[in-house]
A and B are shown apart, each in its own frame.
Chain A
Amino acid sequence: MSTNLLALLPELVLTITGVLVMVLEPVIPAGKSRKPLGWLAILGSLLSGLAAFYQLQIVNAQGTLTAFYSTIQIDPFSIFFHLLIAAVVLVTLLGSLDYFESPITHAGEYFALVLFGAVGMMFMTSSVELLMVFIGLEISSISTYILAGFRKGRATASESSIKYFLLGSFATAFFLYGVALIYGATGSTSIGPIAAGLAITRTPTMAILAVAMVLIGLGFKVSAAPFHVWTPDVYQGAPAPVVGLMSTAPKAAAFAVLLRFLFNGTPMLHGHWILLIEILAVASMCLGNLGALKQHDVKRLLAYSSIAHAGYLLVAFTGTHQNAVAGACFYTATYAAMNVGAFLVLSQLSGFSERIRSIEDFTGLALKRPGMSALLGFFLLSLIGIPFTGGFFGKFYVFSGALQNGHVWLGIVGLANSGVACFYYLRLLAAIYSRPTSDSVAYIPVRKVTAPAAVALAATALATLGLGILPNKLVHLVERATPTTTAAVAVQPTQQ
Chain B
Amino acid sequence: MNAFPWLSLLTALPVVGAGVVLVAGARSDRAARFLSVGFAVGALCIALLLWHGFDVNVGGMQLVEQHAWVPALHIQYHLGIDGLGLSMLLLSAIVTLISLGASWKIEDRVPLYFALILLVEACLFGAFTALNFIHWFTFWELCLIPAFFLIKIWGGPRRTPAATQFLVYTMAGSVAMLLSFLAMYLAANTFEFEELATIAQSGRLLPSLAASSSWMHLTPEHLGLVIFAGVFLGFAVKVPVIPFHTWLPDTYAEAPTGTTILLTGAMSKMGLYGFLRILVPIFAPQMQSVLTPLLWMAVATVVLGSLSAMAQTDLKRIFAYSSINHLGYCLLGIFAAVRYAGSDAQLLTQRAAALSGTMLQMFNHGITAATIFWFVAILETRSGGARELSDFGGLRRNAPVLAGMMGIALFSSLGLPGLNGFISEFLIFKGAFPLATWATALCTIGLLITAVFILNVIQRVFSGPLQERHSNFLDLSGKEQMLLAPAIALMFLLGLDPQILLSHLNATVLQLTNTIKF
Give every chain B residue within 8 A of A406 (Cβ-Cβ). 213-215
Answer yes or no: A430 CB below 8 A from chain B CBs.
Answer: yes
Give every chain B residue within 8 A of A397 (Cβ-Cβ). 73
Question: Does B175 lie within 8 Å of A416, measured CB to CB?
Answer: yes
Give every chain B residue within 8 A of A479 (Cβ-Cβ). 72
Give every chain B residue within 8 A of A419 (Cβ-Cβ). 168, 171-172, 175
Report which of B71, B137, B167, B185 forms a contact with A400, defined as CB distance below 8 A.
B185
Give chain B nearest CB distance to A293 CB in angstroms: 12
A18 to B152, CA, bound (A): 48
Give every chain A residue within 8 A of B160 (Cβ-Cβ). 430, 434
Answer yes or no: A388 CB below 8 A from chain B CBs.
Answer: yes
Give every chain B residue within 8 A of A399 (Cβ-Cβ). 179, 182
Report which of A392, A415, A433 forms a contact with B179, defined as CB distance below 8 A.
A415
A427 to B160, CA, bound (A): 9
Give every chain A residue within 8 A of B69 (Cβ-Cβ). 472
Answer yes or no: B381 CB below 8 A from chain A CBs.
Answer: no
Give chain A nearest CB distance to B141 CB in angstroms: 5
Question: Does B145 lie within 8 Å of A400, measured CB to CB?
Answer: no
Question: Does B178 lie within 8 Å of A415, measured CB to CB?
Answer: yes
Give every chain B residue within 8 A of A418 (Cβ-Cβ). 175
Answer yes or no: A449 CB below 8 A from chain B CBs.
Answer: no
Question: Does B138 lie within 8 Å of A387, measured CB to CB?
Answer: yes
Answer yes or no: B164 CB below 8 A from chain A CBs.
Answer: yes
Answer yes or no: B482 CB below 8 A from chain A CBs.
Answer: no
Q: Closest residue to B153 on the A side, CB-wise?
A: A433
Give chain A nearest CB distance to B131 CB in angstroms: 16
Name A467-496 residues within 8 Å CB distance of B.
Answer: 471-472, 475-476, 479
Answer yes or no: B1 CB below 8 A from chain A CBs.
Answer: no
Report which of A388, A408, A415, A423 forms a contact with B142, defined as CB distance below 8 A.
A388
Report which of A411, A422, A471, A472 forms a contact with B171, defined as CB distance below 8 A.
A422
Answer yes or no: B183 CB below 8 A from chain A CBs.
Answer: yes
Answer yes or no: B186 CB below 8 A from chain A CBs.
Answer: yes
| Given contacts A400-B185, A476-B72, A433 and B171 within 8 Å (CB-CB) | no
Task: Convert B134-155 into 0s and 1s, putting 1 for each residue whose CB lies closer than 8 angstroms to a CB of A.
Answer: 1001110110110011001100
Categorize the interface residue count of chain A.
20 to 34
Task: Convert A446-479 into 0s and 1s, putting 1 for each residue whose CB lies closer than 8 angstroms to a CB of B.
Answer: 0000000000000000000000000110011001
Give every chain A residue within 8 A of B500 (Cβ-Cβ). none
Give every chain B residue within 8 A of A434 (Cβ-Cβ). 152, 160
A404 to B182, CA, bound (A): 9
Answer yes or no: A426 CB below 8 A from chain B CBs.
Answer: yes
Give every chain B residue within 8 A of A381 (Cβ-Cβ). 145
Answer yes or no: A386 CB below 8 A from chain B CBs.
Answer: yes
Name B52-110 residues within 8 Å CB distance of A.
Answer: 69-73
A120 to B139, CA, bound (A): 42
Q: Is the interface of A mostly helix, strand, loop or mixed?
A: helix
Q: Closest residue to A434 on the B side, CB-wise?
A: B160
Question: Does A475 lie within 8 Å of B72, measured CB to CB?
Answer: yes
Answer yes or no: A30 CB below 8 A from chain B CBs.
Answer: no
Answer yes or no: A162 CB below 8 A from chain B CBs.
Answer: no
Give chain B nearest CB distance to A203 CB in angstroms: 35
Give chain A nearest CB distance to B255 CB in angstroms: 14
Question: Does A423 lie within 8 Å of B168, measured CB to CB?
Answer: yes
Question: Does B168 lie within 8 Å of A403, measured CB to CB?
Answer: no
Task: Convert A419-455 into 0s and 1s, putting 1 for each residue whose CB lies closer than 8 angstroms to a CB of B.
Answer: 1001100110010011000000000000000000000
Report which of A388, A404, A408, A423 forms a contact with B164, defined as CB distance below 8 A.
A423
Answer yes or no: A412 CB below 8 A from chain B CBs.
Answer: yes
Answer yes or no: B44 CB below 8 A from chain A CBs.
Answer: no
Give chain A nearest CB distance to B144 CB in angstroms: 8
A328 to B176, CA, bound (A): 23
Give every chain B residue within 8 A of A400 (Cβ-Cβ). 73, 182, 185-186
Give chain B nearest CB distance to A409 CB in angstroms: 8
Question: Does A430 lie within 8 Å of B164, measured CB to CB?
Answer: yes
Task: Convert A390-418 into 0s and 1s, putting 1 for each residue whose CB lies closer than 8 angstroms to a CB of B.
Answer: 00110011011001101010011001101
Question: Does B168 lie within 8 Å of A386, measured CB to CB?
Answer: no
Q: Closest residue to B109 on the A side, CB-wise?
A: A367
A472 to B160, CA, bound (A): 37
A400 to B184, CA, bound (A): 11
Answer yes or no: B18 CB below 8 A from chain A CBs.
Answer: no
A400 to B75, CA, bound (A): 13
| Given contacts A399-B182, A426-B164, A433-B153, A386 and B214 within 8 Å (CB-CB) | no
Give every chain B residue within 8 A of A393 (Cβ-Cβ). 70
Q: Closest residue to A384 on the B side, CB-wise?
A: B171
Name B295-348 residues within 8 Å CB distance of A.
Answer: none
A433 to B164, CA, bound (A): 13
A406 to B215, CA, bound (A): 7
Give chain B nearest CB distance to A301 CB in angstroms: 15
Answer yes or no: B163 CB below 8 A from chain A CBs.
Answer: yes
Give every chain B residue within 8 A of A426 (Cβ-Cβ). 148, 164, 167-168
A471 to B148, CA, bound (A): 26
Give chain A nearest CB distance to B284 CB in angstroms: 24
Give chain B nearest CB distance to A300 CB in angstroms: 20
Question: Does B164 lie within 8 Å of A403, measured CB to CB?
Answer: no
A399 to B164, CA, bound (A): 25
A221 to B160, CA, bound (A): 37
Give chain A nearest CB distance to B218 CB in angstroms: 10
Give every chain A residue within 8 A of B215 (Cβ-Cβ). 406, 408
**Nearest 5 CB-CB pairings of A with B:** A387-B138, A415-B175, A408-B215, A419-B172, A387-B141
A sample of 28 cross-chain residue pairs with beta-carbon separation below 8 angstroms, ordered by A number, consists of A388-B138, A392-B138, A392-B141, A396-B73, A396-B182, A397-B73, A403-B186, A403-B213, A406-B213, A408-B183, A408-B215, A408-B216, A411-B182, A412-B179, A415-B179, A419-B168, A419-B172, A422-B171, A423-B168, A426-B148, A430-B152, A433-B149, A433-B152, A434-B160, A472-B69, A472-B72, A475-B70, A476-B72
10 more contacts with CB within 8 A, not counting A412-B179, A427-B164, are: A386-B144, A387-B137, A388-B142, A397-B73, A403-B186, A406-B214, A408-B216, A415-B176, A422-B168, A426-B168
